Structures are given as C-alpha cells and as structure tokens.
Amino acid sequence: MHFRKRLIRPRHVAKRQRYTLAAAGEEIEEQWRDRKGKTTPPLIRTITRKGTPGSTYDPFHKRLQADLLPLLVGRYGNGNVVLESNNVDIIIKYEKKAILIEIKTDSNPRGAIREARSPIVGVCLLLQAADGNRKR
C-alpha cells in the first residue's frame, strides 16, 4: 500500500495571493524588451539533436508560418504582415485594427488554447497601453 503525505502549508502562505497585476511606470516600460518582427518566411530545416538517445525535430510550426505568409501577404499587403513580433506568431495590420494569430501544433485543443492565450493577452495589454499613451 502506498500512503501519500499531505502537504501542510503554513497559514500565511495559504492566504497569500499568488499573482498581482500592477501598472508599470514609464521607466519600466522603456526597459521592456520589444521584439521586432520580420516579413520574410522562416528558414525550414530538419534539426537532429544529439544526445542519449538522439532525436529528430520537424519544424512543423515554422512550416505553417511559411505557408501562411504568402496567403496573408496576398490578402493584406506586404508591409502589413509581420512574423514573430512581440512573441506573437503573426500580426496583421488591417485598417485601424491589429489581427493577432498564434499558431499552435498541440493535438489537444484545450492545451493549444491555453498556450496561445498568454502571448495574445500580453500583446493586447501592450497595444492598449501604447494606444492610451498616444491619446494623451
């Protein structure tokens, strides 16, 4: 028989809120690393990782980006489609809007949605902050 020990946490730890959303000051916003995007398709090649045991990595994610890029450029224009900008796979500037596309290759839809949510929400907050700064 296996018995699990119950983890007993001190009360002050159990009552502590884990996450807090706080507004960043101008100094912190200036230090925030801005990842510039690119308008060319990614380099696609099979990567073999050496180790015990060796494994082969098929860049399916990059292949999807490379296949989507010409279709999106044909529809929205060359300068309006950017890959890998601010940790979002594809950003499309269309009229006065930004369309954010996050590519996930997870076979589990819930897992894919969970993985895609974080970068999109992060960029939405950055865009909202930048838009608010322009109106002032």
pLDDT tens across 33-85, in order? 666 777 888 778 877 766 666 666 668 888 899 999 999 999 999 889 999 88
Most confident of 32-41, 110-119, 122-131: 110-119
Of the listed ranges 56-60, 69-73, 89-93, 96-100, the one predicted with least confidence: 56-60
Distance in angstroms (rounded) separating the CA atoms of residues 81 and 71? 10
Contact in structure between 83 and 65 (CB atoms under 8 Å):
yes
Q: What is the pLDDT of residue 109?
A: 86
